[in-house]
Structure 1
Amino acid sequence: MRGVLRKTRLLLEMTKPKQLALLMITMYGAYFAGGGGLDPVLLGLLTLTGIGSAGGVTALNMYLEEDIDSIMPRTRDRPLPSGALSKREALYGVSALIVLGTLAGAAINKYVALAALIGLYFDIIAYTELAKRRTEWALLFGSVAGSMPALGGWAAATGGYSVIGVLLAGIVYVWQPLHVAFIHYYYEDQYSEAGIPTIPLRLGHKAFADLALFSISSTIILIWGIVAYLGEGYLTASIATLLGVQALRAVMRFKGSPRREMALAMIKFASPLVGIIFILLPIEMHLLTL
């Protein structure tokens, strides 16, 4: 029994729990913003969809990148390169997660299942298999996958896709390249050793800063687009804008004088943007209007 529990813990570690938690926040946030209720069955299925699909796809990505992880010091201790989990065990566990997530999504409706499958395609085929080892712009494909939990959450509440659902997914899409590129910048020596092309490595710190400026600005624009469309959400948009302006100022300082500690300051303000939006918006749209 202890062995099974240990293997299960290692499999869950492959889902990158912190990253998964943020994606689940976007999923629940979009669900409640779409008017979703506290139906325990529906929320249970949605939770299984998020863990199985988003977490399973991340774990499959890690399975396919074992060779890269074994080279980079920051990833050598992950379950596969460390030998704590065998490739067969990982493949069985990952497959079970993805099947579970897809079936749970289909049990809600076809649009939730479709979002899960789109995430699987863009993360595994477009990003990992076709682009990551070839181009520094691969992160644009991976960001599509990152935006699918939000779209799926909206579809679970509303029964389909709509302008607001797409805008919410768009917020995650334009924010995620900043998060990924920051990791690339911070560990650029390790990515260089592994032979992975990244924007900081290929194009330099100014291109990285420009991507950050675009990412933060686009996030602010999209949240105000939701406000303009709905006629509500002003508090959320205002708080996101204040935080975004601080992040933009940090980026401009970094662009003029790039230092690692300045990049940390930049990400300090930019990272909470998505979480704040997806937590505050449903509260403002529904709870504050009761």
Structure 2
Amino acid sequence: MEDKAAVNFNGTSPVITPARDLSSGEIIKAYIQVTKPVSVALLVFTAVAMMVVARAGHPFTWGQFLVATLAVTLACAGANAVSCYVDRDIDAVMGRTSHRPIPSGRIYPPVRALYWGLALFAASLAFAWSLNFAAWLCLWGGMLGYVGIYSLWLKRRSTWNIILGGFSGGLPALFGWAAVTGSVNLLSLLVAALVVLWIPNHIWSLAFFYRDEYARVKVPMLPVVTEPKKALHCLLMTVILMALVSVGIYFAGDWGALYLVTAVILGLAALALSVNVYLNPAPKKAWLLFKFSSPYLGILFLAMMADVWL
């Protein structure tokens, strides 16, 4: 199939042209893709897992469960769509992202993606408000952290982009707890911290693999702007902290052996892969760590739910 759009360049600024002859199905698909559904699924899963954990000791109807799931899904999807609009220029330059709906011209003009994302987020706030104020605040915090602090402020300016902007990644899990209980506690904060510490491992390993592409668009990810050994040392430290927090969660909650055993095994696996990359800094090893990171988080949260059920 021929490309339906082309990205031209005026100096260093990409000029996006509209895709032609798109069917209704392709247009719908583009608006779904701009929300990054795979990313949304993982974040929503952390929220659902925390709702299951919190629901064990609090009254929470299935209707409220569905409303909360819809709220966090729309919020994550909306934030991703707005972020894609913000990053449309660098996405057009990077080979890894040039096929996305905005740079490929499948959503044109690009501002339509912004409107789409804001509409999704507004709907999420309405659903969250019907739950409680704490849940509503969590969604606001996620949007402000991801789009405001990370995408608009720090991503192109500082190596602290992932560290300071990454706190938004923990907000869906915190939302899940708050949606059920109306508040937060030590356990929910530790679970949110686990996700925040997971993010550097996930993003820096990817940036190490795509180091040249990030350098070309001048995004100062740590593996791009510092020597590999130093960057991998920082990555290893975050993985160690992540593994320790995952075990700390066991002591902060009422868990059985299932969660603890899962946390220890996954933590050791993450540490082994991180040490392997640190000692042998090759892009392929970083890619393996990146591919492991999402299953790590998914399985760990699945273990939380299974532990409660059992």
* TM-score, with length taken from structure 2: 0.86
Indicate which of 141, 147, 170 corresponds to 2:193.
Answer: 170
Write the letter of the residue equivalent to 2:50: A
Q: Which residue of 2 aligns with 1:31?
A: 51
Shift of 1:71: 0.7
8 Å Cα contact 2:85-2:111 kept in structure 1: no
Q: Return the offset for 1:230.
A: 2.4
Deviation at 1:209, TM superposition (A): 2.0
Deviations 1:99-134 (CA, angstroms, capped at 9, x unpaired): 011111111111111000001111111111111111
Alignment pair present for 1:50 and 2:82: no
Q: 1:255 pairs with 278, 285, 295, which one?
A: 278
* Matching residue within 91, 103, 123 for 1:69: 91
- The CA RMSD measured in Å over matched residues stands at 1.9
- Asked which structure has the greater CA Rg, the reply is 2
Counterpart amino acid of 2:40?
Answer: L
Match of 1:159 in 2: 182
Q: How does 1:36-185 map to 2 (within 5 A)?
A: 39-86=61-108, 87-185=110-208
**Identity fraction in percent:** 28
**Could you list the per-position Cα deviations for residues 27-58 of structure 1 after superposition, in whole angstroms to 9, with x for gaps in the alignment?**
00111111267733212211221221111101
Q: Is the 8 A contact 1:178 1:211 kept in 2?
A: no
Q: Is the CA contact 2:46–2:301 (under 8 Å) kept in the aligned structure 1?
A: yes
Is this contact kept in 2: 1:136–1:198, CA < 8 A?
A: yes
Alignment of 1:245-284 (within 5 A): 245-284=268-307
Q: Which amino acid aligns with 1:49?
A: A
Q: How many residues align?
A: 286
Tell me how far 1:232 sits from its aligned partner. Answer: 2.0
| Distance in 1, Cα, partners of 2:78 & 2:285 | 34
CA contact (8 A) 1:123 1:141 kept: no
Q: How big is the shift at 1:5?
A: 4.8
> Which of the numbers 213, 226, 235 marks the counterpart of 1:190?
213
Deviates more, 1:268-277 or 1:131-140: 268-277
The alignment partner of 2:130 has SS state of: helix
Q: How far off its partner does 1:193 sit?
A: 0.7
Partner deviation per Cα, 1:260-282 (whole Å, 9 max, x = no partner): 22223333444322212211112
Give the CA deviation at 1:151: 0.3
Letter paired with 1:154: W
Within 2, Cα distance between the matches of 1:142 and 1:267?
A: 19
The 2-side partners of 1:62 and 1:268 are apart by 22
Q: CA deviation at 1:174?
A: 0.6
CA contact (8 A) 2:50 2:177 kept: yes
Aligned to 1:16: 36
Does residue 1:225 correspond to 2:245, yes or no? no
The one-letter code matched in structure 1 to 2:93 is I
Please list every run of 5 or more consecutive structure 2 residues that lacks an aligned counterpart in the other structure. Answer: 1-21
1:212 CA displacement: 2.7
1:224-244 per-residue CA deviation (whole Å, 9 max, x = no partner) reads 222212242432122222222
Deviations 1:197-223 (A, max 9, x none): 111111222233223322222222222
Contact 1:133 1:195 in 2 (8 A): yes
Select which of 256, 262, 270 maps to 1:239.
262
Counterpart Cα distance in 2 of 1:126 and 1:91: 17
- TM superposition shift of 1:181: 0.9
CA 1:11–1:158 in structure 2 vs 1: closer, same or farther (change >3 Å)?
Answer: same
Report how far residue 4 of structure 1 moved. 5.3
Select between 274-283 and 3-12 the one with higher mean Cα deviation: 3-12
Give the deviation of 1:138 after TM superposition: 0.1
The aligned residue for residue 7 of structure 1 is 27
Q: What secondary structure, in the 3-state scheme, does the structure 2 residue paired with 1:84 have?
A: coil
Q: Which moved more, 1:259-268 or 1:108-117?
A: 259-268
Query: 4+ residue stretches of structure 1 with deviation over 4 A?
Result: 2-5
TM-score with structure 1 length normalisation?
0.92
More displaced 10-residue stretch of structure 1: 31-40 or 149-158: 31-40
C-alpha separation in 2, matches of 1:203 and 1:163: 35
CA distance in structure 2 between the partners assigned to 1:271 and 1:93 by the alignment:
27
Aligned equivalents of 1:222, 1:25: Cα separation in 2: 19
Contact 1:56 1:95 in 2 (8 A): yes
Greater share of residues in helix? 1
